[in-house]
Amino acid sequence: MITLFYNDIIKIVKAVTLPRFFHGLVEQLEKDFAHWSDFNIQPRLASHHPDGVIELMPTNTASRFAFKYVNGHPINAEKNNKLSIIGFGALADAATGLPLVLTEMTILTALRTAATSVVAAKHLANKNPKSMAIIGTGAQSEFQALAFHHCLQVNRIKYFDKDPNAMLKFQHNLSSSDLQLQAGSSIEDTINDCDIITTATAAKKKSQLLSACQIQPGTLLNSIGGDCPGKTELNPDILDISCIVVDFLEQAKIEGEIQNAKPNTEILELQDIITGKKTARKTAQDIILFDSVGCAVEDYSALEYIYKLANELNIGQKDCFLPEPSDPKDLFSLLK
């Protein structure tokens, strides 16, 4: 078994380079979405608290089992000076139950969330998008900007956050990139003349960052903000003018923007778009909403990909995390 700490994830990304890492993860995600029927998947198991949520996200195929532990506590950054979202997870051999990799998944989840957004944009946005607006420049924002830049050649990024320090952080972290960065003075100013709008806010409440009257024809709305029951980012009238695509329908019903959808609203799943079973964008003028809540298949993709790279690069600790007595029937001997 390989154990990967956060610094091991950083070593792997630097060894392969961030552009190549994103390209490889996008490829893994597309492969797994195309084989969606191979996965046994269920809505994540959630334990709610007034200040946040802790969730377990399991899935399995005939040969693999994977899970992630993840929390969402927006209060942490402001009151505790701690990350609002952290995660760890494991990938195991289904035939033996033995873990293959145990890894941190805080950075890894940020990378896979951005890569999933790219996968969605490849299949839902108009061809050759050049500009993206990011509303909310918290922990996920730089990952989104760079994933779209490296994988889809999106070079112009407009951004806005109600916290000026978060905007300064975003500008500083990306100042050495090739991106054309433009700070917005308001949400409406920021989204003007953008092919893609990404909303990435964390507040645990019903927000209405955008309304239907603000969305230009042809726009892809990429709604990725931290989700929980009762928490949404968009005015419900946007759902009335959009073709809605989700990553996992059963989870999105609980935590996504489609909590506000009217009865009998048609909602598509990304896996059906990728396999060609259904079509989302029929014209260049269509407005598409990708309601992304995150799902265990995406984590599975990230775990498979990081396990492959860790083996190839010989990164991570291979000392015994689990007991291995010389006689597998004599566990007590290890205490003697």
Residues involved in catalysis: 227
Single-letter code of the amino acid located at 3: T
Single-letter code of the amino acid located at 213: C
Residue 323 CB-half CA count within 13 A: 11
The single residue listed with the structure tokens 């506590």 is 73
CA distance 81 to 77: 5
**Please, which contacts does 190-194 make with residues 24 or more away whose CB atoms are closer than 8 Å?**
190/133, 190/134, 190/135, 190/158, 190/159, 190/160, 191/133, 191/135, 191/158, 191/215, 192/158, 193/131, 194/131, 194/132, 194/133, 194/158, 194/219
DSSP 37: G
Q: How many helices (H) and strands (E) does the chain have?
A: 11, 17
